[in-house]
Amino acid sequence: MNNDSIPYLIEPRKLESLLADENLLIVDVGARETYLQCHLPGAIHLDYNDLILGRPPAPGLLPPLDKLQTVLQSIGLTAEKQVIAYDDQGNGRASRLLWTLEAVGHKKSSLLNGGLCAWSNEGHATESAPTQAEPRLYHIDKPGIDESPIEWNSSVIADQAYVLASLADAHIMILDARSPDEYNGLKSPSLRNGHIPGAVNLNWLDSIDRANNLRFKPAATLNSMLAQLGIVREKEIIVHCQTHHRSSHSFVMLRHLGFDKIRGYAGSWSQWGNDPSLPIE
């Protein structure tokens, strides 16, 4: 997913030492207003809405490939670029970018641990003038086949049919990253409340260390939390939330911890909870 010198989860101090690397593409997926006030040196801004379909009932689905390809071209992405993603809101949006890059087969991406909060609170340089991206010709290809029609990298994607079929598979677990109230059916913006049968709940906020500038909690703590839920590396894990924003953060957490069989369900509860034909608990 990334070269050996740049970790998947990168600390601010490490990133600061690499800012002169011309192969870095630092992408701010936070609020535009915040970006115009304060961002990492050289960071390109990317509107989160460009990463999602944005239409009900499942706004979190991936956009059409041609649109997504245009978006990635507009920020100057090339196959050689090492993307460093961050945002100003707990890194859920930045994580959605990393999951999207995996979905299109881009192999070099990292998350700035703690995002803008850690970077700015720990005294690293920022700037306010926007950086203009240099658009590049980036093509989304079927992995391993040159000049092929563009298509998704299905190994990290679970659609509705895949999730439904997985319910009877003991080797697959579903991780619901929503709040306990949403999981337990006490509230939901969808037509139905509850959760996907058999899903376990780990609120994405519980993986964030608020006392350490919104970084992930220590790996040992996260592994213990997951183990208590029966989430183990031997199983395939499907993550979802309401729109695959919060669960993208869970996807990156699992990848950081060494899980290699992970899928994101982009339709998430907005799709599942609005379809009366699907089972719920």
The CATH class that applies to domain 9-121 reads alpha beta
- pLDDT value at residue 143: 44
Q: Do domains 9-121 and 158-272 have the same CATH topology?
A: yes
Q: Is 211 exposed, middle or buried (0-12, 13-18, 19+ CB in 10 A)?
A: exposed
Does residue 143 have a cis bond before it (omega within 30 degrees)? no
Q: Is 14 exposed, middle or buried (0-12, 13-18, 19+ CB in 10 A)?
A: middle
- pLDDT value at residue 5: 81
- pLDDT value at residue 142: 47
- pLDDT value at residue 1: 44
Show me where the domains of the chain are located. 9-121, 158-272
Residues designated catalytic: 241
Q: Which CATH architecture has domain 158-272?
A: 3-Layer(aba) Sandwich (3.40)
- pLDDT value at residue 27: 98
For 225-256, how does the pLDDT look when each residue is reduced to its tens digit (9 = 90+)? Answer: 999 999 999 999 999 999 999 999 999 999 99
pTM summary value: 0.94
Residue ranges of the chain with per-residue pLDDT less than 70: 1-4, 141-151
- For residues 12 and 112, give the distance between their C-alpha atoms in angstroms, rounded to a whole number: 7
- pLDDT value at residue 4: 57
